[in-house]
Amino acid sequence: MNWPVLAVGAALLGRAAGGAEAGEVDLTIVNVVTPQDVKIWEPTSITAKKGDRVTLRLINKHADEHGYEIAAFGVKEVVAGDKTATVTFTADKAGVFPIKCQLHPAHVVGQLTVLE
Amino acid sequence: MNWPVLAVGAALLGRAAGGAEAGEVDLTIVNVVTPQDVKIWEPTSITAKKGDRVTLRLINKHADEHGYEIAAFGVKEVVAGDKTATVTFTADKAGVFPIKCQLHPAHVVGQLTVLE
Amino acid sequence: MNWPVLAVGAALLGRAAGGAEAGEVDLTIVNVVTPQDVKIWEPTSITAKKGDRVTLRLINKHADEHGYEIAAFGVKEVVAGDKTATVTFTADKAGVFPIKCQLHPAHVVGQLTVLE
């Protein structure tokens, strides 16, 4: 009897039951500017499950360049004004991790949550 | 001794201790338009616990109709311009599920996270 | 052999491996106003782990005073127009808890999720 193999099988079954999107997070994140001149990457926060492949399409709707950093996963992108960039990484550790704009501390972002 | 009954009792106790909101998620979600003409349903993302009854009051602050879809739970609403619609469903499976506007792919929404 | 001590050690190791931010959530939340006159605290939602110390710097970019309430944790702040306030609390129970503006029910906020 090979218990580890059984355990992996059960885990895969559990993920499949959770929905077709298990294993992959694919989001478009848009940088907007409010009438108060506050810059925000929307949606501000992201959730993934441990092991998920995360793809983020970052659309900058402002004329200036802006940053997008998830330090815990080595993401540190600069998106030029009115341009789009795509980042991908594997969410290989669970936890709650800050997302920031490394160029402007006042830029509003949020958190990446990776569930066990 | 009936262990399953004890376990269920403990689970209910745990939920009750977690706050009066256990078992129910009730949110107002507003569709706004930024000066860059980006449409966003705010808040973009929602969290529930498995088994929670979820009620979303969708307020469309734009003159055009907009969609709100959580495919994994059969939610697919169209909200007319300047109108409000309410959707309810039971979050009966855990996972991270996309929320989209089925009418406009560029419309910014986010994710529904259902915790075990 | 002292198993509980080993278990605690493993748990601490797990948190440390999860990133320097384990144990602490530190966020800036900005109140913005959309062209449709919708007020939103951004980011709308927050995630913490049970036991985390949460610090929220609330920046009100509107001329009027606004509230920020997480009733489950005794947070009930009023931030004067164009001012900043800071609240701190310990996320000592797991669950999904509403965040509201206690002064204006239409003000858009979201949820505090505290993971086990």
- B43-69 per-position pLDDT tens digit: 999 999 999 999 999 999 999 999 999
The alpha carbons of chain C give a radius of gyration, in whole angstroms, of 17
- C67-109 per-position pLDDT tens digit: 999 999 999 999 999 999 999 999 999 999 999 999 999 999 9
Structure confidence at residue B21 (pLDDT): 44
- C24-40 per-position pLDDT tens digit: 999 999 999 999 999 99
Q: Which of C44, C92, C93, C109 to mutate to test the interface with B (most CBs of B within 10 A)?
A: C44
Neighbours of chain B (3+ CB pairs under 8 A): A, C
CB-based contact B27 C110, cutoff 8 Å: yes
Structure confidence at residue A37 (pLDDT): 97
Tell me the pLDDT band of B87, cut-offs 50, 70 and 90. Answer: very high
Three-state SS for C17? helix
Residue A61 to residue B111: CA distance in whole angstroms: 21
Q: Which amino acid is at C106?
A: A
ipTM above 0.90 for this complex? no
Q: Is the dihedral of CA C48, C53, C55, C56 positive or negative?
A: positive
What is this structure's pTM? 0.83
Structure confidence at residue B19 (pLDDT): 43
- A83-96 per-position pLDDT tens digit: 999 999 999 999 99
Q: Which of B13, B15, B26, B27 to mutate to test the interface with C (most CBs of C within 10 A)?
A: B27
